[in-house]
Amino acid sequence: MASTCKSSGSPAIQTRFLRKLFGEKVAVKSLTLEVSPGEAFGFLGPNGAGKSTSVKMLLGLVTPTGGEARILGFPAGNVEARRKVGFLPEHFRFYDWLSAEELLLFHGRLYGMAGSELYRRVPELLELVGLAPHRRRRLRDFSKGMMQRIGLAQALLNKPDLIILDEPTSGLDPAGRRLVRDIIKAERSRGAAVFLNSHLLGEVEVTCDRVAFIKHGEVIETRSLQPNGENATSFRIRAGNLRPEMLAGLERWAKGIQLHDGELSFSVISSESIPEIIRYLVAGGANVYEVTPQHLSLEDLFVQIVGPDGGL
Amino acid sequence: MGVWIVAGAAFREAVRKKMVWMALVTGAAFLILFGLGMRFQTKSMARAPSLIRGQVPNALLMVGLYAVDLLTMVMTVLASSDALSGEIASGAIHAVATKPIRRSELLLGKWLGYVGMMSAYLAIMLGGVTVIAYAASGATALHLASGAALIWLESLLMLNVTLLCGTAFSTLTNGVIVLGLFGMAFLGGWVEQVGALTRSVHAVDVGVIASLIMPSESLWRRAAYDMQSPVVGALRLSPFSNASVPSHTMIGYAAVYLAVALALALRYFGQRDL
């Protein structure tokens, strides 16, 4: 994992108004997003929101009805783009008559890897995903978790600049899930962008830099998950001399405003409005002692943004 | 390069799934039975008039070649009907189609793998039948090379139509469609032969239309016409009757048909959502 990405400087993923219709049914309404090189990006949304179709459009498996998608600067689906992309499909399935080692050799050859490189890389990856003792075992004898592990290995063969993981922890035990987390971190520090489509919000929360929430086939919100408070949408202010009539003026920045025992709590759309709120309170005569961002778990955020019904 | 990697995988799959071995075992059983039949028949004809003694082995050779033709066509359809639809249904195609390989390379690789296997099977079976017939009775096919080429074209036709249907239908539906078309062409061929004997223009037309829809039987009829002795061809109601011989135009049509089937398979597979 020592090598670094040779990124051209183009965004890893860039889509503009990407759209897909299946007959009359709108699978993806208008997807616009951008993922930077070296960024771990979570793609979240309820069932039927259009996540899988979006992933397939990025990879050229599904032809968009409209809009534009570029991968590493190439049009989505371009053969050259795929040379630098690793993909783990949801519920990885492959020819069950192959052994784990043969599967990786086959995919490595499809990537155009030379013999010496391939024969060095394959044992390295089998070791990484914990399948080295099973390298000669046929896939038909593999458990679901083992299939996900070998699927993950084939997605890393070419030391990709962009790794797209569709529900990578599906079927994995806790050790397997930790492995996925470690691999995502290692790939990110190598400089690869990771696009993670997962239902397990806890996994996304600990691995991703940014997330997009998709609902009814379009991105409804993009959030940073950096641990610097930028993500916090709720704040608590401990202050003296807070008068109830000041609360109405806060509504231009905040919502859900409550005042209890000298403690003001509220949510803001952007944390950039906090200095203005403080200036407003101080100008109104309040004595501000403490401003505390309230951490929202990704699950809370998901429910807040997508809605408790999951957008169904 | 991608074409050869996929072709190699298609061949290895057939070996690993024991398809190749089973085809060889059943093929060997067929050849042994054919050899024994030829041998016993030749012995029992020792005292027959020379014309009959000369022609019965020729007729048996044609029966053997006919069986090889049928076996090759059915094997081709059975082996390839799952090639695309199976991988699409299981999702295995996602891991391959997202590699730096064009969909056309993926399909042509599979095609090449099946062409290789089907050609080897045909060569072994056709070679086996003709060598056994010659060794047992001295019977030979008249224009073996052109007959073999036509049977090979017929199996290409079956393969290409199977791959074309595999881009749109499930494995089972694909098999039903292609074998259904093959059966329809077979029946159409018989209707045409009977029509030619009874001078029924409409019956001949039915056969021609069936051949236009699926020209597999035309290729066999022409192959049989090329390989058989004139006396055997004169056997009126047989799978190798020359009552109505497919023209060169029909053979040309079949060649264009199979090329178009492959081109359409490439086009549909290239465009379809996976």
Instruction: Beginning with the edge strand found earlier in the chain, give each strand of the sheet holding A13-22 in spatial order.
Output: A74-75, A66-71, A13-22, A25-35, A218-224, A210-215, A40-44, A193-197, A162-166, A85-88
> By percentage, how much of chain B surpasses pLDDT 70?
95
Could you report the predicted ipTM of this complex, rounded to two decimals? 0.82
User: Under an 8 A CB cutoff, do A61 and B273 touch?
Assistant: yes
> By a Cβ cutoff of 8 Å, what residues of chain B touch chain A?
1-2, 5, 9, 12-13, 16-17, 90-92, 94-102, 271, 273-274
* Residue A108: Cβ-neighbour burial (10 angstroms; 0-12, 13-18, 19+): buried
Q: What is the CA radius of gyration of chain B?
A: 20
Kindly determine whether residue B274 and residue A62, on different chains, have CB atoms separated by under 8 Å. yes
CB contact under 8 A, B100 and A95: no
Beta strands, E only, chain B = none
For residue B88, give the nearest of B77, B96, B78 by alpha carbon. Answer: B96
AA letter at A218:
E
* Contact yes or no for A180/A200 (Cβ under 8 A): no
State mean pLDDT over B118-131: 95
Euclidean distance between CA atoms A37 and A267, whole angstroms: 31
Fold of domain A13-224:
Rossmann fold (3.40.50)
A&B contacts, CB < 8 Å: 65
The DSSP letter of residue B248 is H
Q: Where are the domains of chain B?
A: 2-271
| CA distance, residue A232 to nearest chain B CA (Å) | 38
Terminal-residue alpha carbon distance, chain A: 41
Q: What is the pLDDT along chain A (312 residues), one digit of tens a residue?
A: 444 455 567 899 999 999 999 998 999 999 999 999 999 999 998 888 889 999 999 999 999 999 999 999 999 989 998 999 999 998 888 999 999 999 999 999 999 998 899 999 999 999 999 999 999 999 999 999 999 999 999 999 999 999 999 989 888 888 988 999 999 999 999 999 999 998 888 888 888 989 999 988 889 888 888 655 455 578 889 988 888 888 888 888 887 788 888 888 888 867 778 899 999 999 988 899 999 887 777 777 787 777 766 555
A295 touches chain B (CB under 8 A): no
Highest mean pLDDT among A190-204, B5-19, B118-132, B219-233: B118-132
Average pLDDT over residues B163-171: 94
3-state secondary structure chain A: CCCCCCCCCCCCEEEEEEEEEECCEEEEEEEEEEECCCCEEEEECCCCCCHHHHHHHHCCCCCCCEEEEEECCEECCCHHHHCCEEEECCCCCCCCCCEHHHHHHHHHHHCCCCHHHHHHHHHHHHHHCCCHHHCCCEHHHCCHHHHHHHHHHHHHCCCCCEEEEECCCCCCCHHHHHHHHHHHHHHHHHCCEEEEECCCHHHHHHHCCEEEEEECCEEEEEEECCCCCCCCCEEEEEEECCCHHHHHHHCCCEEEEEEECCEEEEEECCHHHHHHHHHHHHHCCCEEEEEEEECCCHHHHHHHHHCCCCCC
On the CB side of B255, CA atoms within 13 Å amount to: 8
Q: Do B1 and A154 touch (CB under 8 A)?
A: no
pLDDT given at position B136: 86
Cβ-contact A145, A172 below 8 angstroms? yes
* pTM, full prediction: 0.83
User: What does the CA dihedral A56, A57, A60, A61 come to, rounded to 10 degrees?
Assistant: 40
Q: In terms of Cα–Cα distance, which of A195, A232, A237, A243 is closest to A37?
A: A195
Strand A193-197 versus strand A162-166 pairing type = parallel
Q: How far is A261 from chain B (nearest CA, A)?
A: 58
Whether B263 has a pLDDT exceeding 60, the answer reads: yes
Paired strand residues for A17? none
Count of residues in chain A: 312
Which chain B residue has the Cα nearest residue A150?
Answer: B95
pLDDT at residue B50 is higher than 50: yes
Using CB atoms within 10 A of its CB, is residue B169 exposed (0-12), middle (13-18) or buried (19+)?
middle
Structure tokens at B132: 């056994």
B chain contacts of residue A92, beta-carbon cutoff 8 Å: 95
Q: Where are the domains of chain A?
A: 13-224, 234-295
The A263-268 sheet, strands edge to edge = A254-260, A263-268, A234-240, A287-294
For residue B99, the chain A residue with the least C-alpha distance is A82
Select from 1.10.260, 1.20.140, 1.25.40, 3.30.70 the CATH code of A234-295: 3.30.70
